[in-house]
Amino acid sequence: MSWQKGFGQVQVLDALYGPISFSPELSDLMRAPVVQRMRHIRLSNIDSMALPGIAGLNRFEHVLGTAYLSTIVGFSNALDPGERIALQAAALMHDWAITAFGHLVEEAFAYVDSTFNHEGKLYELIASNPSDVGGVNKQVLRGRETGIQDWCTQIFGSQADKYLKVITETIAGRGPLGPAVAGEIDLDNIDNLHRIAFHMGIEIDKGAPVRLSRCLMGANNSGNPIFALDARNALVNWIKLRRNVYTHLMLAQPDFTTKVMLLHATVHAMQAEEFTDQDWNMTDVDLISRLMHSKVKETRDTVDRWAAGELWQMAPLLWLAGSVPNYSQVMAFSERLAKEIKRPVFAYRIKDKRERKLSVEFEDGSTEIFGATSKKWLLGIGSPTQKAFAGSQLIAIRDFASEFFQSQVLSESTDASAEDVGQGTLI
């Protein structure tokens, strides 16, 4: 089945930017299945219980916002018309290959040693021997092909292949336009951070993402962003807002629990070969339907409890020092810990996203470092067993985590609303 085009310009009343409209070229791409699929993928990766304002927020709203910022970015006028459309298309499609429930299912793939990467998927599909049936025309929504190739041919004509490559490189953060969409601080995370903060209920300056985008003037040869001189305060505020947003996102214990449950159900279904990373194009509804009809009792029971809000028992979240382990290591840890404490468990880790170090060059050639690099990561262990973890089990978890990951346990955190939410409780 094909997509429809030529129905005029798309006009949107956006939660952050107010009334916005898009060119006929970008409006046609918005109607294509490659973008329409984003209406069925959550932005926050989970049905948040602790942050209900973001529970139903979808990626369609976010990609429209990112595309809008690409139309006003500071260096836009320096691009030729084809480059300008390619940048806007890349901004609109940057999440096109994201898995159901966003990065969560991509992480589930990694638990079973899949190398799936949504940012590099378009590279695979335009190759001479694409990894997926259909290649760039893979069916991604209700039996409909992406529409990417048709759109490129319609817009760029004989230069369609050239600009498809530019779009592909930009989505992956490569080429001269890449840092604007997938860099240290880019249009994607400028929109994403402010949008989640707004819907989460944090008071924000709704004009900040527009001002920051207009101050983004390009990137240097190292890929670091170049900003206008008057962007300094905006960058400082972005760092502060990031710390606030991710403190809430990372340490909301009910949400951490539901992530553990969905990961557990998905990983067990994959181990039973009920689906593979070739099924990355599932929507949120598709995934839950498959899990609920799984032949694996553990999967069915877990997703049923998830849907009903009957959460697993969780040990306190642990902050550890050092390098973040890969997900296959976390899977091995889960299996060995279950034997160690004689209880079924499943573990999940998150790198500390509250901090980000930015190396920024300004238009006058001066440079400045903003933020910092965190040397910590967060580990959570959940169990379907209804009984709370015993004190001896909690001690064993901390000791075994330290031994297995060769990493020092720094602190534990149990309540995202606590005054010392960023530090946790020292052990």
- Taking the alpha carbons at both ends of the chain, their separation in whole angstroms is 58
Q: Write the CA distances from 389 to 63, 165, 255, 256, 383, integer angstroms.
A: 41, 52, 19, 17, 9
- Cα–Cα distance between 266 and 127 in angstroms, integer? 29
User: Can you give the pLDDT at residue 126?
Assistant: 85
The pLDDT tens digits for 10-49 are 999 999 999 999 999 999 999 999 999 999 999 988 889 9
| Single-letter code of the amino acid located at 407 | S
- Cα–Cα distance between 260 and 332 in angstroms, integer? 15
Q: How many CB atoms lie within 10 A of CB 209?
A: 28
Q: What is the DSSP string of 185-215?
A: S-HHHHHHHHHHHHHHT----TTHHHHHHHH
The pair of three-digit structure tokens given for residue 383, joined into one six-digit string? 């169990």
* Residue 28 main-chain phi, psi, to 5 deg: -65, -40
The pair of three-digit structure tokens given for residue 268, joined into one six-digit string? 């067990």
User: Can you give the pLDDT at residue 413?
Assistant: 80
- Cα–Cα distance between 407 and 2 in angstroms, integer? 52
User: Can you give the pLDDT at residue 4?
Assistant: 55
Q: Write the CA distances from 37 to 18, 117, 130, 175, 352, integer angstroms.
A: 23, 18, 21, 26, 29
- Cα–Cα distance between 219 and 225 in angstroms, integer? 4
Q: How many CB atoms lie within 10 A of CB 9?
A: 13
For residue 86, the SS3 value is helix
Estimate the share of the chain in helix, then strand, then coil, as percent rounded to the nearest 5: 50, 15, 35
User: Can you give the pLDDT at residue 38?
Assistant: 98
Angle at 24 between CA 85 and CA 30, to 5 degrees: 80
| Residue bearing tokens 């670091």 | 224
- Which domains, from first to last, does the chain contain? 11-250 (1.10.3210.10)
Q: Is pTM, for the whole model, over 0.85? A: yes
User: Can you give the pLDDT at residue 416?
Assistant: 47
- Cα–Cα distance between 223 and 205 in angstroms, integer? 28
Chain-wide mean pLDDT for the chain? Answer: 93
> Are 235 and 358 in contact, with CB atoms under 8 Å apart?
yes
The pLDDT tens digits for 395-416 are 999 999 999 999 999 999 855 4
pLDDT tens for the chain, 427 residues: list them: 344 565 678 999 999 999 999 999 999 999 999 999 999 999 988 889 999 999 999 999 999 999 999 999 999 999 999 999 999 999 999 999 999 998 899 999 999 999 999 989 988 888 778 889 899 999 999 999 999 999 999 999 999 999 999 999 999 999 999 999 999 999 999 999 999 999 999 999 999 999 999 999 999 999 999 999 999 999 999 999 999 999 999 999 999 999 999 999 999 999 999 999 999 999 999 999 999 999 999 999 999 999 999 999 999 999 999 899 999 999 999 999 999 999 999 999 999 999 999 999 999 999 999 999 999 999 999 999 999 999 999 999 999 999 999 999 999 985 544 434 433 333 3
- Cα–Cα distance between 15 and 13 in angstroms, integer? 7
- Cα–Cα distance between 422 and 427 in angstroms, integer? 15
The pair of three-digit structure tokens given for residue 347, joined into one six-digit string? 């573990």
| Single-letter code of the amino acid located at 100 | A
